[in-house]
Amino acid sequence: MKIISFVLLGFVVLAAGSVLAQAPADLAAPGTGIYEENCAPCHRSNGEGLAVKFPALHKNPLVLGDPQPALATVLNGRKGELGLMPAWKDKLDDGQIAAVVTYIRNAWTNKASGVTPAMVKEVRDK
Ligand code: HEC
């Protein structure tokens, strides 16, 4: 009996360990659906965009740098050389924008700090 409980305990510890080990890599996970639904039609699921139409978000310095310019672009949209980036401030709430910007900062091979709803609110209220 003792051996069996040791084995069981071992499995529990291993299982908990693998859940914890996955946590950092899954920083992007909550925003996946929001991205696929709202952003992927233009920027594509692989984040590479479309030449001369939609900018790549993968390895994009604006996406990976200070979160403020990326948040301002997503909230307010932008009309630029490539065309029109729609504004999302009336379609997505602070939590959804935090999730999707955290997603683009950590999807593909991107790696940058996560964004909180409070940070979104700060840029929204400017
Ligand atoms: C209808 C197509 C379209 C959709 C949908 C769209 N975008 Fe964009 N996005 C653009 C275009 C076009 C630009 C470039 C605008 C310009 O020429 O400056 C852009 C620019 C950006 C930039 C700035 C990139 C840079 O290098 O300056 C970010 C960040 C971004 N989009 C994120 C998103 C996110 C996140 C979503 C979903 C919530 C989204 N976009 C949805 C078309 C789109």
| Domains, the chain, with CATH or none | 27-124 (1.10.760.10)
Closest atom, ligand 1, to C-alpha of 70 = 29
- Per-residue pLDDT reduced to its tens digit, 7-20: 555 555 555 554 44
Neighbours of 92 (CB within 10 A): 18
- The three-point CA angle 88-61-115 to 5° equals 50
Centre of ligand 1 from the C-alpha of residue 80, in Å? 10
Position 42, amino acid? C
| 39-95 pLDDT, tens digit each | 999 999 999 999 999 999 999 999 999 999 999 999 999 999 999 999 999 999 999
* Residue 102, φ and ψ in degrees, nearest 5: -60, -40
Identify the residue whose C-alpha is closest to ligand 1 atom 3. 42
Whether 65 is in the pocket of ligand 1, judged by its Cβ within 6 Å, is no
pTM summary value: 0.84
In the predicted model, what is the mean pLDDT of residues 98-107? 98
Could you give phi then psi for residue 9, rounded to 5 degrees? -60, -40
pLDDT digits (tens, 9 = 90+) for 84-95: 999 999 999 999
C-alpha span between 110 and 57 (Å, rounded) = 9
Question: Is any ligand 1 atom within 6 A of the Cβ of residue 108?
Answer: no
